C-alpha cells in the first residue's frame, strides 16, 4: 500500500516513515493543494491507495487575522482534494487529521458524538473541512492533539488549558492501527490522561515558565481540549 501524506515534512510524517510502508510526502512544488490543476496532475502522475491529510494552518492568531489564508489552507485545499478523489478515484481511503478545537472547550472530554461549537475562526475552518470530507465514500476523520517530542517552542505554557495530548510517534502508531482495521467515520485518537499544557511542555522543556489565560490577550482560545473516545482505545503518553 502506498500512502500520500500532505503537509510536507512534519514530526508526524517523519514518524510514519519509520514504518515499513511506502509513503509519498511531496513538497509544495510537487503538490500545491490550493491549486486544482496541481492536484489533478499529481493524481495522474502518481499511484496511491490512501491519503493522510495533515495540511493545515494551525496558528489561531494568524487564522483570526488572515481569514482568507485560513480559508484557503484549511477549507479550500480539503475541498480540492475531496473533489479530485470523487472525480478520479473514489476508492482511495482518506484520513483527515482534525482537532478538538472544533469544540467550545468548556467541559472537555468530548467524544465522537459531541456537537462541534467552535469559538474562533481556526475552529470554524476545521469544522467546515470535516463537513467537506464527509462527502467522500471512504473517509476517516481523526481528531487528535499532538506535539513533537522536542523543545517547547515558546517561553511559557498555560497551566489552565488542558488536553489529552499525545506525541507524534503515538499518533503515527494509532493511525496505522486504525488503517489496518479499515475503520471509517470519526475517531478520537487521544491519551488516557488529561493534563495541562504546562505539564506537557515540562516533559521536554523542564525550564518552561507557567502562564494563565488571564495573562493572555488575543483570539478566544479553547480552555479544555481533552478528548474521550467511544470507538477506539486510548494511548499512554509515553515520555
Q: What is the CATH number of the domain that holds 54?
A: 3.40.50.720
- What mean pLDDT comes out for the span 4-24? 93
Cβ pair 52, 175 in contact under 8 A: yes
- What pLDDT, on the 0 to 100 scale, is given for residue 20? 73
Segment 32-51 mean pLDDT: 97
Nearest CA to 86 out of 126, 114, 51 is that of 51
Which pLDDT band, with edges at 50, 70 and 90, does 19 fall under?
confident
> Would residue 139 count as lying in a domain?
yes
Mean pLDDT of 38-65: 97
Average pLDDT, the chain: 97
In a domain, 219, yes or no: no
Distance from C-alpha of 35 to C-alpha of 44, rounded to nearest angstrom: 15
Per-residue pLDDT, 168: 97
- pLDDT tens for 176-234 read 999 999 999 999 999 999 999 999 999 999 999 999 999 999 999 999 999 999 999 99
List, in sequence order, every residue forming a beta bridge with 2; answer none if it has no partner. Answer: 22
- Is the residue at 81 inside a domain? yes
Q: Where are the alpha helices (DSSP H) in 168-239?
A: 168-181, 197-204
pLDDT band at 49 (very low <50, low <70, confident <90, very high): very high
User: In the structure, what pLDDT confidence band is assigned to residue 239 with cuts at 50, 70 and 90?
Assistant: confident
**What is the number of H-type helices and E-type strands within the chain?**
8, 12
Question: Does any domain span residue 210?
Answer: no
pLDDT exceeds 80 at position 96: yes
Is the overall model pTM greater than 0.95, yes or no?
Answer: yes
Q: Considering Cα of 200, then 75, then 61, then 6, what sign does the dihedral take? A: positive
Each residue of 22-60: b (16+ CB within 10 Å) or e? ebbbbeeeebbbeeeebbeebbeeeebebbbbbbbbeeb
- As a whole number of angstroms, the distance between CA 129 and CA 136 comes to 12
Inside any domain, residue 138? yes
Can you read off the three cell numbers belonging to residue 129? Answer: 473541512
Q: What is the number of domains present in the chain?
A: 1
pLDDT in the model for residue 3: 96
User: Does residue 99 belong to any structural domain of this protein?
Assistant: yes
Whether pLDDT at 21 is above 90: no
Beta strand spans in 133-237 (E): 139-144, 146-147, 156-158, 162-163, 166-167, 185-189, 195-196, 209-211
Question: What's the whole-number mean pLDDT along residues 137-166?
Answer: 97
Pairing of strands 156-158, 209-211: parallel
Domain with 90, as residue range(s), is 2-148+166-191
> Which residues, including other chains, have CB under 8 Å from residue 115's CB and lie 6 or more apart?
none
Amino acid at each position: 500500500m502506498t500512502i500520500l501524506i500532505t503537509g510536507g515534512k512534519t514530526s508526524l510524517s517523519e514518524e510514519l516513515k519509520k514504518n515499513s510502508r511506502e509513503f509519498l510526502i511531496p513538497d509544495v512544488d510537487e503538490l500545491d493543494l490550493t491549486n486544482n490543476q496541481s492536484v489533478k496532475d499529481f493524481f495522474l502522475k502518481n499511484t496511491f491507495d490512501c491519503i493522510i491529510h495533515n495540511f493545515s494552518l494551525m496558528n489561531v492568531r494568524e487564522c483570526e487575522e488572515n481569514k482568507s489564508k485560513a480559508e484557503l489552507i484549511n477549507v479550500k485545499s480539503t475541498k480540492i482534494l475531496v473533489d479530485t478523489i470523487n472525480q478520479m478515484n473514489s476508492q482511495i481511503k482518506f484520513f483527515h487529521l482534525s482537532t478538538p478545537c472544533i469544540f467550545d472547550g468548556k467541559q472537555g472530554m468530548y467524544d465522537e458524538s459531541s456537537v462541534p461549537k467552535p469559538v474562533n475562526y481556526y475552529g470554524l475552518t476545521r469544522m467546515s473541512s470535516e463537513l467537506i470530507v464527509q462527502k467522500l465514500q471512504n473517509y476517516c476523520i481523526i481528531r487528535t492533539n499532538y506535539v513533537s517530542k522536542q523543545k517547547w517552542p515558546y517561553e511559557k505554557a498555560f497551566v489552565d488549558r488542558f488536553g489529552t495530548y499525545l506525541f507524534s510517534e503515538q499518533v503515527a502508531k494509532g493511525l496505522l492501527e486504525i488503517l489496518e482495521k479499515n475503520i471509517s467515520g470519526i475517531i478520537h485518537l487521544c491519551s488516557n490522561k488529561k493534563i495541562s499544557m504546562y505539564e506537557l511542555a515540562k516533559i521536554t522543556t523542564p525550564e518552561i515558565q507557567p502562564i494563565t489565560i488571564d495573562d493572555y490577550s488575543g483570539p478566544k482560545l479553547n480552555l479544555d481540549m481533552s478528548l474521550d473516545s467511544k470507538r477506539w482505545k486510548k494511548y499512554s503518553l509515553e515520555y
